[in-house]
Structure 1
Amino acid sequence: MTPDRFFFIVRNPKVKSVMRVAETAVLGSDPANGGAYLAGMATAQDKAVDLKSRGYHMILGATDVPLFKKAVVDDVKSFKLGSS
């Protein structure tokens, strides 16, 4: 199942447990039948190849994060400008 190293950032046992349950549920669902896709960020402790082997659908690498952040910030700014 999910290796403990995946949850290296989270120290709270209850949060770790909820994360494991959520990951297991998402990976057990079928996106073709309304199930969810699972995305994650590769880290030194949880490499992209490990996420892929566990069934993740989208994996962010370290170089993807600034691009993703910019896209999110741009969307938020656009939303705020459009709703004022």
Structure 2
Amino acid sequence: MRKLKDAILLIIAVFLSILIGKALLASKPALIELISAEITAFNLGRIVGYFIPWLLSFILTFLSFKFGVSYLFKKQPQSNNELD
């Protein structure tokens, strides 16, 4: 039952990190607007404005998946006296 609960929490964490990435792309925060306004001479503003939120979303998704899977398949300590 614990593994099922942990798997559900992993799915929720991945879903939330994807939602965070979409929210960052939709709102385009003021810092990214400032960065993109500063370097539009080389047309890098669009790359920076869209690459950073996708990168953050990918990193959050990867880390939550990596740590969630490693937690799910971690060996549980076995006690010698299961029922006393």
The alignment's TM-score, normalised by the length of structure 2, stands at 0.31
Task: Mark the structure with the bigger radius of gyration.
Answer: 2
More helix by proportion, 1 or 2?
A: 2
The alignment's TM-score, normalised by the length of structure 1, stands at 0.31
More strand by proportion, 1 or 2?
A: 1
